[in-house]
């Protein structure tokens, strides 16, 4: 059975580096990040946006216009038939990108040979993961990350700076951990307020990460490519 599609972005120049791409949003995510902007994609039993067959028709209309398709979410690695679905897309001549939070090691191993590029969310330091991100499993996240690093696939690690999930000191620790693992590209992303959020962090606490120039320059020194994404 093909994957369940929660949404499609038909054209992007920013979600798959150096490629013209479309994004397929998979329906369902086991995690519950407090800052999630895709809450409508969390429910595995939600209403599909379009059928797989309609998506394939869309792909056929985009041959030679797009370089790649990014499987995003929700959480693609939570889709049992991810491999078969990616293979169909790859066989049509598209490169495959993946946005993931690293929730399933075996499924990642299965799809790894199909992947060109991965954007990997590392939410916080591993020893705080399960306290801060409901339903997460830190050891699984770290195994997925190690697998990607060992594979040599093009990889961007990224962290959304929500002060409820990571502190400035923890961000520094995490950056040293990631750099020590050999990660070359690391992005920090500013938390954006979700309109339905009941108890958001203060704007001052959110801005504090970016006001700390010493911290930013220390992080920059650790990576070949260090990216700062402001909201
Ligand atoms: S991993 Fe992504 S989709 Fe899942 S809850 Fe977190 S932010 Fe939302």
Q: Is 86 helix (H, G, I), strand (E, B) or coil?
A: helix
Q: Which atom of ligand 1 is nearest to the CA of 101?
A: 1
pLDDT tens per residue, range 12-59 = 999 999 999 999 999 999 999 999 998 999 999 999 999 999 999 999
Question: How many independent structural domains does the chain possess?
Answer: 1
How are beta strands 5-12 and 21-26 bridged, if at all? antiparallel
Q: Output the CA 136–ligand 1 centroid distance in Å.
A: 11
Domain that holds residue 102: 5-229
Nearest to 121 by CA among 147, 145, 104, 146: 145
pLDDT score at 73:
93
| Strand pairing report for 95-100 and 5-12 | unpaired
Is it the case that residue 231 has pLDDT exceeding 90? no
Write phi, then psi, for 113 (nearest 5 degrees).
-65, -15
Q: Is 76 in the pocket of ligand 1 (CB under 6 A)?
A: no
pLDDT tens-place string over residues 157-192:
999 999 999 999 999 999 999 999 999 999 999 999
Ligand 1 centroid – CA 30 distance (Å): 8
The sheet that has 225-229: what strands, in order across it? Answer: 5-12, 21-26, 68-72, 95-100, 117-121, 154-161, 185-190, 225-229
42 close to ligand 1 (CB < 6 Angstrom): yes
Distance (Å, whole) CA 184 – CA 179 = 7
Q: Is residue 32 lining ligand 1, measured as CB closer than 6 Å?
A: yes
Q: Residue 194: pLDDT band by 50, 70, 90 thresholds? A: confident
Which H helix or E strand runs over 213?
helix 213-222
Grade residue 213 by pLDDT with cuts at 50, 70 and 90.
very high
State the Cα–Cα distance between residues 78 and 63, nearest whole angstrom: 27
Residue among 56, 71, 93, 70 at smallest CA distance from 26: 71
Query: Ligand 1 atom closest to Cα of 32?
Result: 5
Query: So what's the pLDDT on residue 206?
Result: 95
Phi, psi for 142 (deg, rounded to 5): -70, -40
162 lines ligand 1 (CB under 6 A): no
pLDDT of residue 80: 95
pLDDT of residue 160: 98
Distance 75 CA to ligand 1 centre (A): 7
* Å from CA of 73 to ligand 1 middle: 7
Q: How large a percentage of the chain has pLDDT more than 70?
A: 100
Backbone angles phi, psi at 126, to 5 degrees: -65, -35
pLDDT digits (tens, 9 = 90+) for 87-135: 999 999 999 999 999 999 999 999 999 999 999 999 999 999 999 999 9
CATH of the domain at 205: 3.20.20.70
Residue 190: what pLDDT? 96
C-alpha 107/C-alpha 30 separation (Å) is 15
What is this structure's pTM? 0.97
Work out the angle between the directed axes of helices 213-222 and 203-211 (0-180°, nearest 10): 60
**Which pLDDT value is given to residue 197?**
86
Query: To test ligand 1's pocket by mutation, which of 35, 101, 122 has the most ligand atoms within 8 angstroms of CB?
Result: 101
Q: Is the distance from the beta carbon of residue 159 to the nearest atom of ligand 1 less than 6 Å? A: no
Q: Which of 7, 31, 37 to mutate to test the pocket of ligand 1 (most atoms within 8 A of CB)?
A: 31
**Ligand 1 in contact with 34 (CB < 6 A)?**
no
Measured by CA distance, the residue closest to atom 6 of ligand 1 is 33
Q: Could you report the per-residue pLDDT of 144-160, keeping only the tens digit for each?
A: 999 999 999 999 999 99
Q: 38 CB under 6 A from ligand 1?
A: yes
Torsional class of 227: left (φ above 0), alpha (ψ -120 to 50), beta (otherwise)? beta
Query: Could you tell me the pLDDT band of residue 142, with boundaries at 50, 70 and 90?
Result: very high
Greatest alpha-carbon pair distance for the chain in Å reads: 51
The number of the ligand 1 atom at minimal distance from the alpha carbon of 73 is 3
Q: What is the DSSP letter of 50?
A: B
């Amino acid at each position: 059975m093909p994957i369940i599609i929660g949404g499609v972005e038909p054209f992007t120049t920013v979600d798959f580096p150096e490629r013209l791409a479309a994004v397929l949003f998979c329906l369902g995510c086991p995690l519950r990040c407090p800052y999630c902007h895709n809450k409508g994609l969390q429910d595995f039993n939600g209403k599909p946006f379009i059928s797989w067959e309609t998506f394939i028709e869309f792909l056929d209309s985009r041959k030679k216009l797009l370089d790649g398709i990014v499987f995003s979410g929700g959480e693609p690695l939570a889709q049992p038939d991810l491999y078969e679905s990616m293979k169909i897309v790859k066989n049509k001549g598209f490169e495959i990108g993946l946005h993931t939070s690293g929730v399933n090691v075996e499924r990642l191993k299965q799809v790894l040979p199909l992947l060109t590029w991965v954007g990997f969310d590392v939410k916080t330091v591993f020893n705080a993961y399960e306290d801060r991100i409901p339903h997460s499993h830190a050891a699984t996240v770290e195994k997925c990350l190690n697998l990607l690093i060992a594979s040599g696939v093009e990889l961007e690690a990224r962290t959304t700076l929500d002060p409820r999930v990571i502190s400035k000191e923890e961000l520094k620790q995490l950056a040293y951990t990631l750099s020590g693992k050999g990660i070359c590209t690391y992005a920090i992303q500013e938390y954006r307020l979700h309109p339905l959020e009941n108890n958001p962090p203060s704007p001052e606490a959110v801005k504090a990460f970016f006001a700390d120039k010493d911290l930013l320059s220390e992080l920059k020194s650790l990576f070949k490519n260090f990216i700062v994404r402001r909201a």
